[in-house]
Structures are given as C-alpha cells and as structure tokens.
Structure 1
Amino acid sequence: MALIQFENVGLRYGMGPEVLRDMTFDIPRNSFQFLTGPSGAGKTTLLRLMLMALQPTRGLIRLFGRDVAVIPHKELPMLRRRVGIVFQDFRLLDHMTTYENVALPLRVRGKDEVSYRNDVIELLKWVGLGERLHARPPVLSGGEKQRVAIARALIDQPEVLLADEPTGNVDPPMARRILSLLVELNRLGTAVVIATHDIALMDRYNARRMILSEGRLDIHD
C-alpha cells in the first residue's frame, strides 16, 4: 500500500499562477527516495503538502489511504504522528537539553517519562549523541543539531520520514553520516523522502529521484 498518494495535485497562492501542477506520484511503504531540484523549485512546499500542513488547490491527496480533504480536523494530529519531519532549520528549543528536545513530542502527548526515558536515551545513542544528553542546542555543532532533529522526528516511530535538506548545514563527512542513519532507518521499515540539491550525495545511493522543476515533477526510478 502507498503511504502517500498524489493525483493531479496543483497548488496556487491566491489568484496567482500554480506553483505546483499536475503532481501525480506515490510514496510506497518501506521506500527510499530523493526529492531534488533547483533552489526555489518548491521542494519544501511539496513536503508541506505531504505533511498536510498545506491543502492543495486541486487534485487528490491520500495519506495512509485516506483522502486528506475529508479527514475530520480532530483526527489530523493522530495521522500527523505517523509522519516524521526534519525541518531545514532544526526548530530545536534552546532552553531544553538534547534529551528534552527529543522527548518533547511524547511529553506533549501526555506520556509518563518512565514509559519513554529508555527509548529516548537509546535513540540518542543510535544517532551518536549518547554523551550529549544534557547539552543544550547553543553548544551543539550543526551536525549534532541535525541528529537531534532526526531523533526527535523518529521518537514517535513514524511510518514515513520527510527530511528537508538534512545535510545542508554540515560538512561532507557529517552529511554522509546523516545519510547513513537515514538509510539504516529505511532498512528498519520507515519510508524516507529526502529533499536535497546535493547531486554528489545522491550519486552515492541507488534510489528513486523525484526531480522538481518549474512546478512539475519528473520521476526517475
């Protein structure tokens, strides 16, 4: 089953021209793909449509088999928890420790810390931050912040992960390390969509490329 399906989707702002048009594709379960294209092509906008943070102007989007246009508003938070998102600007809270930032989605849901503490610690070890549990974002490097953001996106065990330029603020060795983490995550069963313009990095992996240009999408399997 496809986790995300787009059928003839278009998006415009106000009365302006469509910024995305005729989007037809799906994100299969357990799949791995890159979303690429020049700066300003609309990669972040397309990710926001996948996340249901934007509604399309036309066309059909299905998330986990359900038409997002008719999903009751009260059910959206539960569906969104099945989608992890790594933002380009990290969106970490500077007054919270690494551990607290990663645990935040579970705290917001009202979970007791006893039920998740070990999971958060193990996940931080998995991303190589086991020694940085009590560090706060201002003292972390760009690569460390990115891995905190990835861990936070994964703590709710999403079925699909959307990563917006996850290697854009780190050096090449750290970029490869981050991509290796996402490849391993995919092997464990999560579908992964990585928005990037780094051609050299994509060339290291045999994965589907979704190329966005001038509002249209071209898919190379």
Structure 2
Amino acid sequence: MTDGGSVTDRVNMGSLLSGAEEPVVQFENVGMRYGLGPEVLSDVSFQIAPRSFQFLTGPSGAGKTTLLRLILLSVRPTRGLVSVFGEEVSDISSEALTGLRRRMGVVFQDFRLLDHLTTYENVALPLRVQGRAETSYRAEVVELLRWVGLGERMHVLPPLLSGGEKQRAAIARALIARPELLLADEPTGNVDPGLGRRLLRLFIELNRLGTSVLIATHDFALMDLVDARRLVLGGGRLAVEHP
C-alpha cells in the first residue's frame, strides 16, 4: 500500500455509491434501550450500500457507539430489524454470527489489543485466524505498519505503546484483511491532525478497493475533507445528510 499523499482537496465519494445491489447493512425502524431505561435509539432506518463511504456523527451520548455495536452484532435491537450482509440477525446462530463478524474490520476507542502479543502479532492476528501462513502475509503486515508510522515499533508489546500508537495499531489490524465493512469509532481521536489526514487517506484507499466504510467522529474538519454522506444522530433519531 502506498501513501496517496495528504488530503488537501475535498474527495468526492459520490461516484463510489452503489446502485441496486443488496445493502451491506440495513436498519428498519430500529429501537434500542438498555434495561428499563429510555430508548437510546428510536425508529432508526438507513442502509449502507456496498463500496460506500459515510460518516456517523452527533453529540456525545447520541447513540453512535450503540449503533456501531448493533452493526457489529454485539447487541440486539429492542425492536425493529437489523440485517448485515443480507442476513436478518434476530435469530442468527452463533456460527453464522462469527462468520459475519469476520467480514468486518472494527476500530473501537478501547483498542482491544492483546497485551501478550507484539504490535506485529496483533496486526497479523486476523490473517492468522484465516489460517494463512506467515510467509504469505509478513511483507504486507510490515508495509502497513510502516505506512501508519509503526515500523520501528512492530516488536513492542501494547503496554509500552502510547495512546496514539495503540490507535494506529488497532487501525492497521482492522484494515489488514481488507474487510467488506469497516467500522471505526473516533479513529483519529488520539493522533495529530496531520496523521489524522494520512489515516483518512488510508480509509479512502481501502474504500476504493471495495470496502464499505463507516466512521464515527466529532471531527468536522476531518469530515469536511470528504464529500461523503453523513448519518447524524440526535435525540436517539437519525437524519441523513448527503454531500
């Protein structure tokens, strides 16, 4: 993977939106509450098309992380229908659930790196799970680590990494297997603006290779660099803004 340069002009993602293909994600009148509390999400309906790029935004507490967890299938909706890769998930088996999750790349704010594995081993883990031999992926992992600025830190354990380095390692791990769907929760929150733009370029390049991308962020300056659809949460409800 090469550095496509800094993002200096607004990138138009409209040409990457799909037409009549089956959505990668579909929500129909979804409501979500935890326990007996009020609904975090109310009557949320939207689709994510194959090979599309969009941002998810809204104030803190608006339900962005809950929406991502619903897509990841780590929680089930209180009401309504959620479909991922064409599978309606209300009664899905554990085996099928695992298969769907392997088609996703995920970057959450807590990173979820394994402390007993080096940076290199954490990033390579999705490929090991696929059963690939290290000789088939080592150069690819090393190249990606160098691209995100971790070439000199690939043999370091996560407890010795800074917050920004952990963030970049988590992003590299999510991208290495070229998932069909990438979910990223504030992926540039712990890095400087220059590196944030570089990481955005990486997400754009992955999208152009065919991955659908959903980035949750508060960073309006970052969103203004891309003419991409915005899913805006507020008061538990979703509005869609087009570029």
Give TM class, smaller chain. over 0.9
Q: Does 1:167 align with 2:188?
A: yes
Deviates more, 1:75-84 or 1:116-125: 116-125
8 Å CA contact retained: 2:178, 2:206: no
Q: Does 1:23 align with 2:44?
A: yes
Taking the aligned partners of 1:48 and 1:101, their CA distance within structure 2 comes to: 22
Taking the aligned partners of 2:99 and 2:180, their CA distance within structure 1 comes to: 12
Q: Where does the alignment leave 5 or more consecutive residues of structure 2 unmatched?
A: 1-21
Q: Percent identity?
A: 68
SS at match of 2:227: coil
In the other structure, the counterpart of 2:154 is 133
Deviates more, 1:176-185 or 1:2-11: 176-185
Q: Does 1:81 align with 2:102?
A: yes
TM-score, normalised on structure 2? Answer: 0.84
Post-superposition Cα deviations, 1:127-163, rounded to whole Å, max 9, x if no partner, equal 3433432133344344332221111112232101000
Q: Does 1:11 align with 2:32?
A: yes
Q: Where does the alignment leave 5 or more consecutive residues of structure 1 unmatched?
A: none
SS at match of 1:70: coil
Q: Does 1:72 align with 2:90?
A: no
8 Å CA contact retained: 1:143, 1:174: no
In the other structure, the counterpart of 1:122 is 143
| Paired letter, 1:122 | E
Which one of the candidate residues 171, 177, 194 is aligned to 1:156? Answer: 177
In the other structure, the counterpart of 1:37 is 58
8 Å CA contact retained: 2:57, 2:231: yes
| Paired letter, 2:98 | P
The number of aligned residues is 221
| CA-CA distance at 1:97 after TM superposition | 1.4
Post-superposition Cα deviations, 1:160-180, rounded to whole Å, max 9, x if no partner, equal 100000011122112112111
Taking the aligned partners of 1:169 and 1:183, their CA distance within structure 2 comes to: 19
Deviates more, 1:38-47 or 1:173-182: 173-182
